[in-house]
């Protein structure tokens, strides 16, 4: 009997889907992700030996590794079909290095888990890509070096258990700097004047822009009222009418960052949730008769490219369902950014024939929402532009000049399928009013129905959301498709940042960590330096740089900064006016796994400690306790100081609820 070939993938779901596609000639098993990594309790990098990493089997994975070796025994061919990126290449290579060497071990990659893509990939297996592996090892070693040397400095200064990272620390700095901008911002009062005008029965709005040809700034109510009194005496005359056509072009199909941004903006999914649901759609959904199939292409990508056969399929769908006027003469193409992995594809549906509506019975609500978003974005990306008819009018009332503009959608184009929602701008909560401009001619006399002065205040930039932070990181060249969600997750897990109503709020601990890193390592957590480091790591994969050269250039100045910090950093002690009720010594503020708390300054001789109360009474009737800030694996919350007698908990303080 012919021996089955072995196929190794990362996840059980992916194994099930691929196993169904390949049939009985193959045995498909899962490695459950990484099998080996750098050791947890030591550096694991031999710096004096060209930064050679020491890989060990991850705790709890020895059994899986043994099972893989057993499965590979006596197999003529072993195929490693892990994900088609650096991480997947490295996972596969680590497996290859540790299972039976007698077998012929080949690499297979595909960007969608469909019968056609998988079967075609297995016709063209390849050797492992040494440059991709070098690039991934370089990243892992660099991140370990930074974390290993920086984290103990945070422990020395602030508290044990804290961490710093190459990209997460820069992301934290962006959040902290934005928060400080908000804190320093001084709001300025200003006024606007709007006129409700009419020509016959047609009404529209116009806004005062200039007086005697000069741009106007109205800062006080008295100024606005005085101007209104004068304007009411004037006759409103149309001075100029301009008509134009504005074309709005479709956006590219999703890459990882844009999918995460739009999923937040449209669905209010955080980055972690988006990637979790996308992975489910990629690895395979059972569509009945125990027949799982991947519904989208690989979800970690920075390339907007789509396969020619996918473009052909979607163009046929557009012509058939919308008409030729919605189909561009040539397929739309989108610019690939520098250092994007062009061999990858955009995130798109694997089959255009699988319309979101047809899959409702097989998908969870979250899967359905994200699949529909991906599907519609891809279809729209190959459609004609939307066309607006825009009318702009200049109206004169004596020395006062008003402007009015309005647009009407003349042709929907791609917007028949997908209308991109820009992220809510919290700096301007005044939603623009829809303005329909009637047919006007130069010289028309208009009727003034109402003159409305309105008070406004300038507002600071909004705090970062998952969406806007990912966009900022991408624009600055920081992080890569696989890192955006883990960056935000880690910042929240460490309690450096809290997600409140969808926005990222830095904590007191986050400020302290950031300030220490900026003081002692200004270059390391500089945006431009980190972006340059990302490029160098990418260039290892291209063969333009070597891993050893990149690490050597980084380590020498980094070690100088570390040595200086170790010699100069002193433990921060924040003494309070509270006295220890056991020994009479002052209580000091410390940070632990569950957040900030009070500890006796005589520790370890006196081990007394207690929680810091918020000063807010527990709302539970008859309790009398105070609310305390606590942390769990699900984030921070407020609990009663009388726990376990009182089990009241809340994500917000009662005052916050009242204000809301």
Q: What is the pLDDT of residues 607-660, one digit of tens each?
A: 999 888 888 999 998 888 999 888 776 677 888 988 889 999 988 877 544 332
CB 466 within 8 A of CB 488: yes
Helix (H) or strand (E) holding 547: helix 547-568
The residue whose two tokens read 């100081």 is: 641
Higher pLDDT, 655 or 262: 262
Q: Quick one: average pLDDT of 11-33?
A: 94
pLDDT attached to residue 102: 67
Number of other residues whose CB lies within 10 A of the CB of residue 405: 16
- What integer is the mean pLDDT of 347-373? 97
The whole-number pLDDT of residue 13 equals 94
pLDDT of residue 431: 47
Best CA proximity match to 105, nearest among 134, 69, 64, 63: 69
pLDDT at res. 658: 35
Find the mean pLDDT for residues 434-449.
94
Lowest-confidence pick of 153-157, 282-286, 431-435: 431-435
The whole-angstrom distance between residue 185's C-alpha and the CA centroid of its chain comes to 26
Percent of the chain whose pLDDT exceeds 70: 95
| pLDDT value at residue 341 | 55
**pLDDT tens across 461-486, in order?**
999 999 999 999 999 999 888 899 99
| The one catalytic residue among 282, 298, 375, 400 | 298
Q: Please measure the distance between the N-terminal and C-terminal CA atoms of the chain and give it in whole angstroms.
A: 71
Q: Is domain 189-249+386-414+426-457 in CATH 3.30.43.10, yes or no?
A: no
**Residue 99 pLDDT class (50, 70, 90 cuts):** confident
The superfamily CATH assigns to domain 137-184+463-568 is Topoisomerase I, domain 2 (1.10.460.10)
Does residue 422 carry a pLDDT above 90?
no
> What is the structure's pLDDT at 344?
80
Residue 8 has which token pair? Answer: 């190794």
Greater confidence (657 vs 154) lies with 154
Structural class in CATH, domain 256-381: mainly alpha
Residue with tokens 């999918």: 259
- Bigger pLDDT: 338 vs 76: 76
Kindly state the percentage of the chain with pLDDT values over 90.
Answer: 80
Residue ranges covered by each domain of the chain:
5-128, 137-184+463-568, 189-249+386-414+426-457, 256-381, 574-659
Model confidence band, residue 428 (pLDDT cutoffs 50, 70, 90): very low
Give the pLDDT score at 656: 44
pLDDT at residue 340, as a whole number: 54
Q: SS3 letters for 372-384?
A: HHHHHHHHHHCCC
Tell how strand 445-457 and strand 236-248 pair up.
antiparallel
Q: Let me know if 188 is exposed, middle or buried by CB neighbors in 10 A (0-12, 13-18, 19+).
A: exposed
pLDDT for residue 454? 97
Q: For residue 429, what pLDDT band results from cuts at 50, 70 and 90?
A: very low
Cβ contact 340:251 at 8 Å: no
Please compute the mean of the pLDDT values over residues 407-419 and round it to a whole number. 95
CATH 3.90.1150.10 is the classification of domain 5-128: no
* C-alpha to C-alpha distance for 195 and 404, rounded to whole angstroms: 10
Q: Is 326 a catalytic residue?
A: no
Mean pLDDT of the chain, nearest integer:
92
The vertex-431 CA angle with 182 and 503, nearest 5°, equals 40
Of 222-226, 287-291, 380-384, 520-524, the least confident:
287-291
Q: What is the DSSP letter of 98?
A: H
- Tokens 């990508």 belong to 301
């Amino acid at each position: 009997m012919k021996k089955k070939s072995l196929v190794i993938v990362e996840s059980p779901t992916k194994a099930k889907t691929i196993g169904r596609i390949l049939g009985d000639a193959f045995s498909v098993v899962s490695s459950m992700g990484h099998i080996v990594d750098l050791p947890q309790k030591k550096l694991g990098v031999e710096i004096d030996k060209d930064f050679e990493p020491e890989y060990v089997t991850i705790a709890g994975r020895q059994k899986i590794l043994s099972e893989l070796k057993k499965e590979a025994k006596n197999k003529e061919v072993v195929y490693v079909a892990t994900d088609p990126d650096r991480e997947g290449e490295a996972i596969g290579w680590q497996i290859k290095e540790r299972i039976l060497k007698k077998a012929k071990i080949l690499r297979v990659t595909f960007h969608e888990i469909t019968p056609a893509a998988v079967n075609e990939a297995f016709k063209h297996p390849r050797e492992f890509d040494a440059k991709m592996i070098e690039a991934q090892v370089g990243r892992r070693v660099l991140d370990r070096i930074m974390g290993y040397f920086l984290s103990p400095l945070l422990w020395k200064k602030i508290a044990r258990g804290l961490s710093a990272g190459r990209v997460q620390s820069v992301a934290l700095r962006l959040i902290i700097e934005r928060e400080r901008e908000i804190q320093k911002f001084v709001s300025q009062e200003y006024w606007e004047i709007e006129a409700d005008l009419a020509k016959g029965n047609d009404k529209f709005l116009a806004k005062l822009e200039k007086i005697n040809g000069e741009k106007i700034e109205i800062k006080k109510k008295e100024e606005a009222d005085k101007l209104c009194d004068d304007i009411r005496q004037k006759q409103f005359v149309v001075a100029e009418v301009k008509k134009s056509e504005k074309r709005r072009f479709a956006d590219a199909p999703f890459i990882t960052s844009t999918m995460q941004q739009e999923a937040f903006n449209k669905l209010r999914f955080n980055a972690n949730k988006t990637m979790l649901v996308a992975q489910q759609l990629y690895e395979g959904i059972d569509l009945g008769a125990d027949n799982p199939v991947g519904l989208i292409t690989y979800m970690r990508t920075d390339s907007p490219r789509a396969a020619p056969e996918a473009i052909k399929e979607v163009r046929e769908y557009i012509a058939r369902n919308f008409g030729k006027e919605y189909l561009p003469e040539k397929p739309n193409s989108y610019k690939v950014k520098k250092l994007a992995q062009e061999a990858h594809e955009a995130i798109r549906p694997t089959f255009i024939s699988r319309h979101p509506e047809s899959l409702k019975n097989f998908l969870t609500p979250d899967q359905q929402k994200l699949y529909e978003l991906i599907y519609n974005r891809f279809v729209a990306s190959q459609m004609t532009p939307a066309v607006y008819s825009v009318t702009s009018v200049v109206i004169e009332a004596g020395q006062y000049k008003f402007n009015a503009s309005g647009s009407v959608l003349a042709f929907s184009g791609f917007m028949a399928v997908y209308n991109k929602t820009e992220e809510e701008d919290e700096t301007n909560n005044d939603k623009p009013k829809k303005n329909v401009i009637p047919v006007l001619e130069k010289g028309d006399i208009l009727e003034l129905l109402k003159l409305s002065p309105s008070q406004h205040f300038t507002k600071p930039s909004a705090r970062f959301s998952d969406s806007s932070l990912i966009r900022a990181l991408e624009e600055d060249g920081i992080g890569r498709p696989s890192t955006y969600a883990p960056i935000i997750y880690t910042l929240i897990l460490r309690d450096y940042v809290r997600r409140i109503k969808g926005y990222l709020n830095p904590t007191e601990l986050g400020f302290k960590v950031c300030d220490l890193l900026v003081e002692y390592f200004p270059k390391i957590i500089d945006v431009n330096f980190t972006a340059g480091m990302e490029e160098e790591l990418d260039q290892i994969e291209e063969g333009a740089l070597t891993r050893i050269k990149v690490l050597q250039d980084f380590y020498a100045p980094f070690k100088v900064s570390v040595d200086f910090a170790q010699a100069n950093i002193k433990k921060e002690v924040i003494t309070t006016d509270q006295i220890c009720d056991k020994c009479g010594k002052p209580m000091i503020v410390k940070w632990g796994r569950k957040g900030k708390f009070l500890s006796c300054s005589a520790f370890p001789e006196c081990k007394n400690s207690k929680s810091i109360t918020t000063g807010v009474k527990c709302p539970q009737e008859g309790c009398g306790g105070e609310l305390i800030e606590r942390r769990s694996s699900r984030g921070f919350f407020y609990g009663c100081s009388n726990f376990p007698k009182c089990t009241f908990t809340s994500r917000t303080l009662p005052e916050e609820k009242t204000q809301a």
